[in-house]
């Protein structure tokens, strides 16, 4: 029983997932601090008061705290923008830079001219509509 548990724990995908959760939590703290300590004060300097939590509407003795919803929505948008502009865009640029100059691999499929299904390059007949296919000139 313990041997199976040890094999389960030591599998690569379990360890990768554990590392991803820990790094993700740490990264979340960094992004939250960036938004709270840098971006929110910047917005407050430009537009005024950054905290909407005091806004509410009272109906029949019930408070509807729509200000908290506005705070959460603005925070979500700021965090999303921060992640996109400071993580996703640089990573996409880095990956594009690394792939520059690489020759794409030869295709392994082609389209059937009759039914437009994907078929192997070496196929002489479509498996979907049984149309005869001319071999591709190489």
Question: Do residues 35 and 82 lie in contact, with contact meaning Cβ atoms separated by under 8 Å?
Answer: yes
CA atoms within 13 A on the CB side of 28: 7
Q: What does the pLDDT average to over 43-54?
A: 73
Q: How far apart are the first and last CA of the chain?
A: 57
Global pTM exceeds 0.75: no
Q: Per-residue pLDDT tens for 5-25?
A: 777 777 767 777 887 888 888
Q: Is residue 93 predicted with pLDDT exceeding 90?
A: yes
Q: Is residue 138 predicted with pLDDT exceeding 60?
A: no
Q: Is residue 56 predicted with pLDDT exceeding 70?
A: yes
Q: Per-residue pLDDT tens for 66-75?
A: 888 877 787 7
């Amino acid at each position: 029983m313990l041997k199976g548990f040890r094999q389960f724990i030591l599998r690569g995908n379990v360890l990768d997932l554990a590392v991803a959760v820990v790094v993700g939590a740490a990264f979340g703290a960094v992004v939250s601090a960036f938004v709270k300590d840098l971006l929110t004060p910047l917005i407050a300097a430009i537009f005024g008061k950054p905290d909407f939590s005091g806004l509410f509407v009272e109906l029949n003795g019930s408070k509807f705290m729509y200000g908290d919803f506005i705070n959460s929505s603005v925070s979500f948008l700021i965090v999303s923008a921060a992640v996109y502009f400071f993580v996703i865009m640089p990573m996409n640029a880095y990956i594009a830079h690394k792939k520059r100059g690489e020759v794409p691999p030869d295709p392994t499929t082609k389209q059937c001219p009759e039914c437009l299904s994907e078929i192997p390059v070496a196929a002489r007949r479509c498996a979907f509509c049984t149309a005869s296919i001319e071999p591709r000139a190489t």
